[in-house]
Structure 1
């Protein structure tokens, strides 16, 4: 079984990759490098994904995949965007982030939003490719559902008539922004083989 190294310590994100890449041995980079952490100084999802995959590939001298993803809310001019994980502060508290988004939308009628995921793959030789996936939805008035992580409980997917947090891991993996980016990555990898 081939290993796929993911430059993330986010258990929810790593689980998403495990469901999608079920034929591979998905390893979080912190299993190989203690306290791997890259400061996300980029202004776009692509910038931050590249920073992580390039640092991981350089440190391990092997191919590393990283992603940067988040929520973009139309009425908030694309916020929280690249600051999605720490929107309500450095503690990266999902509930606090959700409450801040809901409070910011209290007087707004436009609740459209999208989840964005950019995956960056850097080879041991330092070559990097990026792949972007999005899923459109709306922000609910309150949290609904127990599954998922991050903003999933307030992200309603009209096609499914459910929030991301009401979907099973398998259902989410079929439609998610991460899945769409990974599908492009898989096509690229298969084309390169």
Structure 2
């Protein structure tokens, strides 16, 4: 049986402000007191995993050990089917050290030049780690296709280029609540909350 989070402070093992904000919104009904790894000054571990799950576990375990608190890490990315799943676990690296996702989206479009298949999916792995070494993991996905030029200024990363199946707006055009209802991160969070969190009704 999965271990449940029993309340109190929860470290979000990320230095990405957009990601921390989105995770905080998704966890709001659970009563967790969210604090980011960046706020605590925790170092970022080297992501040496070969999968999203492996990298999420590396980050969650490192933050839980350093902060001596439960820690939640997300590793997510965009897998483009015509590119054999790239950029995948290297999605953030395509943006370079400056996290320039406009440049990353241009690079992606250039890589797709002449490709009729523009299908892709976002994947999100979540790892919830405790200081004693226990870890719970889940993974969520959302399927869609890539559009060009990018549309919208909401979200972050590759959101302005990704349109989920059955939608006519990119993630960059959607309001946060609409995106949270269908995103890969929301899918993963629904799974994690079901096994590890209690929804607060007061």
TM-score by length of 1: 0.93
CA contact (8 A) 1:133 1:178 kept: yes
Shift of 1:159: 2.0
- Cα deviations by residue, 1:93-150 (Å, 9 ceiling, x for unpaired): 1111111111111110000000000000111211111100000000102111111110
Residue in structure 1 matching 2:73, options 63, 66, 74: 66
- Measured in 1, the distance between the counterparts of 2:159 and 2:79 equals 13
Residue in structure 2 matching 1:5, options 11, 17, 22: 11
Q: Within 5 Å, which residues of 2 pair with 1:165-176?
A: 165-176=172-183
CA contact (8 A) 2:153 2:172 kept: yes
Q: Does 1:51 align with 2:66?
A: no
- Cross-structure match for 2:35: 27
Residue in structure 1 matching 2:22, options 16, 20, 23: 16
- Measured in 2, the distance between the counterparts of 1:52 and 1:59 equals 11
- Cross-structure match for 2:93: 86
Greater RCO (CA < 8 Å, at least 6 residues apart):
2
- Measured in 2, the distance between the counterparts of 1:119 and 1:173 equals 15
CA contact (8 A) 1:86 1:93 kept: no
CA contact (8 A) 2:12 2:37 kept: yes
- Measured in 2, the distance between the counterparts of 1:3 and 1:88 equals 31
Q: Where does the alignment leave 5 or more consecutive residues of structure 1 unmatched?
A: none
Count how many residue pairs are aligned between Structure 1 and Structure 2.
190
- Measured in 1, the distance between the counterparts of 2:173 and 2:26 equals 18
Residue in structure 1 matching 2:47, options 18, 22, 40: 40
- Cross-structure match for 1:152: 159
Shift of 1:89: 3.1
- Cross-structure match for 2:128: 121
Q: Alignment RMSD, CA only?
A: 1.5
- Cross-structure match for 1:104: 111
- Measured in 2, the distance between the counterparts of 1:78 and 1:71 equals 8
- Measured in 1, the distance between the counterparts of 2:9 and 2:194 equals 18
Q: Any runs of at least 4 consecutive aligned residues in structure 1 with deviations exceeding 4 A, and if so which?
A: none
CA contact (8 A) 1:19 1:169 kept: no
TM-score by length of 2: 0.89
- Measured in 1, the distance between the counterparts of 2:196 and 2:153 equals 34
Shift of 1:161: 1.3
CA contact (8 A) 2:125 2:139 kept: yes
